[in-house]
Chains A and B, each alone.
Chain A
Amino acid sequence: MSWIDIGHIDEVPLRGARLVKTHIGCIAVFRTAETEVYAATNSCPHKGGPLSEGIVHGQSVTCPLHNWVFDLNTGEAQDADEGRINTYPVRLEDGRILLDDSAVTRRSAA
């Protein structure tokens, strides 16, 4: 596994998200707490809503279009909704956000 530095944690607002663009689609990087980040596909499986624009709470995000809630740990939709988003390994080191490069390259190589 190799890691790609995508930016500093301060560039993502607390309980907010930023986008990473790749050849195949966008990945949302969520900051759920001062030093806690998650990465997942930006697109809601329901109607394609941009998850990076959703409200981030606990370790979940709510899609801005129709309020589907996803657990960022598992990618599973919560409550009555059924669906899943892809999640990607991401970690923090000295304030830098490191995204697993398979999230970027595997998809573009496929």
Chain B
Amino acid sequence: MKQRLVVIGAGMASGRVLEHLTDSAPDAFDITLFNAEPRGNYNRIMLSPVLSGEKSYEEIVTHDDAWYAERGIACRFGEKVEKIDREMKVVEGANGHVPYDKLVVATGSNPFIIPLPGHDLEGVIAYRDLEDTQQMMDMGPDNKVVVIGGGLLGLEAAAGMAAHGVDVTVVHIMGHLMERQLDEAAGYLLKKSLEDKGIKICLQANSKEILGRSGKVRALLLDDGTELPCDLLVMAVGIRPNTALAQDTGLAIGRGIHVDDQMLTSDPDIYAVGECVEHNGEVFGLVAPLYDQAKVAGQAILDEEASFVQKSLSTKLKVTGCDLFSAGDFADGPGREDIVFRDPSRGVYKRLVIEEDCLIGAVMYGDTADGSWFFGLIKDGTNIDEMRETLIFGPAYQGGDTADPLSAVAALPPEAEICGCNGVCKGDIVEAISAGAGDLGAVRASTKASASCGTCTGLVEQLLQVTLGDGFEMPTTQSICGCTDLTHEDVRRLIKGQELKSQAAVWQELGWNTPNGCHVCRPAINYYLLADWPLAYQDDPQSRFVNERKHANIQKDGTFSVVPRMWGGITTPEELRAIADAADKYDVPTVKVTGGQRIDLLGVKGEDLPLIWSDLNKAGLVSGHAYSKGLRTVKTCVGTDHCRFGTQDSTGLGIKLEKTLWGSWTPHKLKLAVSGCPRNCAEATCKDIGVVCVDSGYQISIGGAAGMDVKETETLCQVSTEDEAIEVVMAVTQAYREGGKYLDRLYKWLGKVGMDWVKAQVVDDLQNRDALVARFELSQSIYRKDPWAEHVREKAQTYGPIADFTLEAAE
């Protein structure tokens, strides 16, 4: 007598089980197939091409009615299974019982719906089946749609709708798209391509509430207050194995239904396959392992030998024009080495991960032609030691060339601005070179490029090399670090010229040869980005040296020093009491008066920092930024308040300057002083910027130093009012911020650009001075704040350990 087989769920995995059984043993079973959806098996992963209009539903049907009829499969579609009676071996459907000898559970998965307020409004859907797809296809150019989830499915949904002209916004909680399959650089390129298709993308965005009107979705509200209006909201934030039926039946479950290597559940007559199962702690969402499971289950049901083994997976995104590939493991595991290749001109990024002479992971964007070759190497565990040097160039290439250091400059469009001072773009320079300007001097003479502050000299030289080839000999220059061949000056110009506004953009567009820089370039790039794009770029604490990340100076024993600000060196008995109390309370071993006219508390434990700051804040004391590449202090003398020689209120001006400049970041530390008369008690003439008051006004001089080098300031100008003095100081600070090389003190920058250039910018050209002041003010609208108070409020817990096993009682 034939055995009775019942299958619950007509999906891609169970479809494969049926194909296998009916092909290898057509007469072995009487088969009944239940499915909750009112249709048979279709290729669910092709829903995206259906959505974008590249395929029709009919084209993605895997098994039509005729297929089931030919194989004598009794179809119970649209019928829900209510219960499995394992004792009686009967499946109870809504329309009647079916007995079984063998049972296959393939209940698949449920989309995860974030339980936000409003998630049950009409127009909030998942992306799971044909009904969802149809709702998305009903959207047109007059509609707005928000997709929550920047993973594979969410992006395919977004791109599919954008192809119909729908206004789509993707909201993603992580820092880059598809973070499970892609690293940051590939995520950056993907974001760029999708934005080119008109899709808006919000990263690091937390959804707070779904807003509705008369029961229907109206907008998504983010926790920063942004409201994104929408007619349809698609949640594509992941799936959960559908284990409800298995659980009611009493099968062993964890995250999914537990199965062994033969896909057998805890019941010897019940198998499970597909997205509903858990095997060796893993659950499954991609199709390849599901097909493997189906084959194994089919064989096991026929008593053949077979075992399911988990393999490496590869992913491709089914969005036209977004060419990406990821395979294997590029996230976890010790003993690994990276090979990175970037070609900014073609928007190509490739990264290979090697472990013990084997390729274990690959991420590629822009050129994925070699993807399957790399995937083969990963699956086969091929020893790649012999071809390591040329591996990244793929199977066709065995030469040994390396990436071209000039490619970033070659890739610039003709309208990219090279010389900011004189507004000269790449096209002008190339034209001049083609017309006969064969060296730097000739280019300067004919275009003025690099003829002013000179910081773009390196780029002009690279353009000479790109245009003339071997006809031009490049002078040797010092690159920032081993991650790039470009100099600081080159990178600064390119960040502005190409409008690069994230670190990932810099790494990719400028061809970094490491995944995310190093301790040398990261702080520099972070500074350049925040100085050039104060609003668009968010400061990255992880790219800062510990002192600037923790807003305190690390000492040789790992403790910190805490220096509260004393505006212009003026303090009060109340402040001094608060400092003394804090020193007592936190066992501060050393209290020292600094050279910048304030008090240093040395030897504070890292985890006490937020506590001591909080106490100091209560007395009105804020961070003195004694740790920063930014404004430190404005030292003053007592001026006309008390001194019989004072000519102006030097203390008052010092306090005003400090209140204007505090919190600003500069290429290196910035120290100011204001002296009330030429006796210069505040030592203003060895500061980065010094003001000496005289009867007729204020002498401003810059470029002093009293450190490794000792230098006297050079006179910039004399002005007659306090307000003008403050404006000149702001403007010169901003010019230094915009042009200085990271870790060059102001005098070094001055040595490169020259006093004449600075005078032209901030003294003679009043319109330019105003523009510099305005840009400084814009930046200060973000950075003129107390970081101590902010950390006490938002980050205090990060100063302590994540886990503390010393608190547990000793055994």
B17 to chain A, nearest CB (A): 29
B340: nearest chain-A partner, CB-CB: A58
* B452 at interface, CB cutoff 8 A: no
Number of interface residues of B (CB under 8 A): 44
Most chain-B Cβ atoms within 10 A of its Cβ — which of A4, A15, A23? A15
- Measured in the bound complex, the distance between the Cα atoms of B180 and A26 in whole Å is 30
**B156 contact set on A, CB distance < 8 A:** none
A23's partner among B519, B544, B554, B805 (CB-CB below 8 A) is B805
Interface of B is mostly: loop
Which of the 9-residue segments B266-274, B330-338, B564-572, B676-684 touches chain A?
A: B330-338
B180–A57 contact, CB under 8 A?
A: no
**B546 contact set on A, CB distance < 8 A:** 53-54, 64
A13: nearest chain-B partner, CB-CB: B542
- Measured in the bound complex, the distance between the Cα atoms of B554 and A47 in whole Å is 13
- Measured in the bound complex, the distance between the Cα atoms of B541 and A15 in whole Å is 9
**A7 contact set on B, CB distance < 8 A:** 802-803
A58–B175 contact, CB under 8 A?
A: no
Q: A55-B545, A57-B522 are in contact. Are A12 and B802 (CB under 8 A)?
A: yes
B179's partner among A35, A74, A108 (CB-CB below 8 A) is A35
A69: nearest chain-B partner, CB-CB: B519
* A62 at interface, CB cutoff 8 A: yes
Q: A34-B179, A69-B519 are in contact. Are A47 and B556 (CB under 8 A)?
A: yes
**A74 contact set on B, CB distance < 8 A:** 334-335
Chain A residues 19 to 38 lying within 8 A of chain B, measured CB to CB, are: 19-23, 26, 29, 33-36, 38
- Give a binary string over B79-109; 1 marks a CB under 8 Å from any A CB, 0 the rest: 0000000000000000000000000000000
- Give a binary string over A48-74; 1 marks a CB under 8 Å from any B CB, 0 the rest: 111001111111101011010100011
B542–A16 contact, CB under 8 A?
A: yes
* B516 at interface, CB cutoff 8 A: yes
* A85 at interface, CB cutoff 8 A: no
- Measured in the bound complex, the distance between the Cα atoms of B331 and A34 in whole Å is 8
Chain A residues 77 to 105 lying within 8 A of chain B, measured CB to CB, are: 87, 91-93, 97, 99, 104
B181 to chain A, nearest CB (A): 11
A55's partner among B176, B542, B806 (CB-CB below 8 A) is B542
A50–B518 contact, CB under 8 A?
A: no
- Measured in the bound complex, the distance between the Cα atoms of B328 and A10 in whole Å is 23
- Give a binary string over B534-565; 1 marks a CB under 8 Å from any A CB, 0 the rest: 00000001111110011000101110000000
Q: A13-B542, A14-B175 are in contact. Are A48 and B558 (CB under 8 A)?
A: yes
* B798 at interface, CB cutoff 8 A: yes
Chain B residues 776 to 811 lying within 8 A of chain A, measured CB to CB, are: 798, 800-806, 810
**A60 contact set on B, CB distance < 8 A:** 518
**A29 contact set on B, CB distance < 8 A:** 802
B336–A15 contact, CB under 8 A?
A: no
* B489 at interface, CB cutoff 8 A: no
Q: A35-B179, A35-B331, A55-B543 are in contact. Are A21 and B804 (CB under 8 A)?
A: yes
B803–A20 contact, CB under 8 A?
A: yes
**B198 contact set on A, CB distance < 8 A:** none
- Measured in the bound complex, the distance between the Cα atoms of B181 and A34 in whole Å is 11
- Measured in the bound complex, the distance between the Cα atoms of B549 and A65 in whole Å is 14
**B549 contact set on A, CB distance < 8 A:** 53
B107 to chain A, nearest CB (A): 21
B334–A87 contact, CB under 8 A?
A: yes
- Measured in the bound complex, the distance between the Cα atoms of B804 and A50 in whole Å is 17
- Measured in the bound complex, the distance between the Cα atoms of B174 and A58 in whole Å is 19
**A35 contact set on B, CB distance < 8 A:** 179-180, 331-332
Q: Please classify how large the interface on chain A is, using the bins under 10, 10 to 19, 20 to 34, 35 or more.
A: 35 or more
B801–A20 contact, CB under 8 A?
A: yes
B805–A21 contact, CB under 8 A?
A: yes
* B417 at interface, CB cutoff 8 A: no
A22–B545 contact, CB under 8 A?
A: no
B710 to chain A, nearest CB (A): 26
* B640 at interface, CB cutoff 8 A: no
A13–B801 contact, CB under 8 A?
A: no
Q: A13-B541, A59-B336, A64-B545 are in contact. Are A53 and B802 (CB under 8 A)?
A: no
- Measured in the bound complex, the distance between the Cα atoms of B543 and A54 in whole Å is 10
**B802 contact set on A, CB distance < 8 A:** 6-7, 11-12, 18-20, 29, 97
B334–A34 contact, CB under 8 A?
A: no
B578 to chain A, nearest CB (A): 27
Most chain-A Cβ atoms within 10 A of its Cβ — which of B180, B518, B550? B518
**A104 contact set on B, CB distance < 8 A:** 805
A49–B558 contact, CB under 8 A?
A: yes
- Measured in the bound complex, the distance between the Cα atoms of B515 and A21 in whole Å is 30
Chain B residues 239 to 281 lying within 8 A of chain A, measured CB to CB, are: 281
- Measured in the bound complex, the distance between the Cα atoms of B800 and A58 in whole Å is 25
**A97 contact set on B, CB distance < 8 A:** 802
* B465 at interface, CB cutoff 8 A: no
- Measured in the bound complex, the distance between the Cα atoms of B555 and A48 in whole Å is 11
A56's partner among B174, B179, B542, B554 (CB-CB below 8 A) is B542
- Measured in the bound complex, the distance between the Cα atoms of B182 and A33 in whole Å is 11
- Measured in the bound complex, the distance between the Cα atoms of B558 and A74 in whole Å is 24
- Measured in the bound complex, the distance between the Cα atoms of B809 and A23 in whole Å is 11
* B514 at interface, CB cutoff 8 A: yes
B146 to chain A, nearest CB (A): 23
B504 to chain A, nearest CB (A): 12
* B183 at interface, CB cutoff 8 A: yes
**B805 contact set on A, CB distance < 8 A:** 20-23, 104, 108
**B184 contact set on A, CB distance < 8 A:** 33
B203 to chain A, nearest CB (A): 12
**A57 contact set on B, CB distance < 8 A:** 514, 516-519, 522
A26–B523 contact, CB under 8 A?
A: no
A20: nearest chain-B partner, CB-CB: B803
Most chain-A Cβ atoms within 10 A of its Cβ — which of B174, B332, B542, B801? B801
B542–A58 contact, CB under 8 A?
A: no
A58–B516 contact, CB under 8 A?
A: yes
B801–A21 contact, CB under 8 A?
A: yes
- Measured in the bound complex, the distance between the Cα atoms of B554 and A93 in whole Å is 34
B176: nearest chain-A partner, CB-CB: A34
B516: nearest chain-A partner, CB-CB: A57
**A4 contact set on B, CB distance < 8 A:** 803
B801–A18 contact, CB under 8 A?
A: yes
- Measured in the bound complex, the distance between the Cα atoms of B803 and A56 in whole Å is 20
**B336 contact set on A, CB distance < 8 A:** 59, 73
A37: nearest chain-B partner, CB-CB: B332
B522's partner among A19, A50, A53, A55 (CB-CB below 8 A) is A55
**A47 contact set on B, CB distance < 8 A:** 556
A105: nearest chain-B partner, CB-CB: B805
- Measured in the bound complex, the distance between the Cα atoms of B804 and A4 in whole Å is 12
Most chain-A Cβ atoms within 10 A of its Cβ — which of B515, B518, B546, B558? B558
Q: Return 24 A-B CB contacts under 8 Å, by A number.
A: A13-B541, A14-B542, A15-B516, A15-B543, A21-B801, A21-B804, A21-B805, A22-B806, A26-B801, A33-B331, A35-B331, A35-B332, A36-B332, A49-B558, A54-B519, A55-B518, A55-B542, A56-B542, A58-B515, A58-B516, A58-B518, A62-B518, A64-B554, A67-B519
| Besides A57-B514, A57-B518, A73-B334, 6 new A-B residue pairs in contact (Cβ under 8 A), listed by A number | A14-B175, A20-B804, A21-B805, A29-B802, A34-B179, A93-B281
6 closest cross-chain pairs (CB), A and B: A62-B519, A18-B802, A6-B803, A53-B546, A55-B519, A15-B542
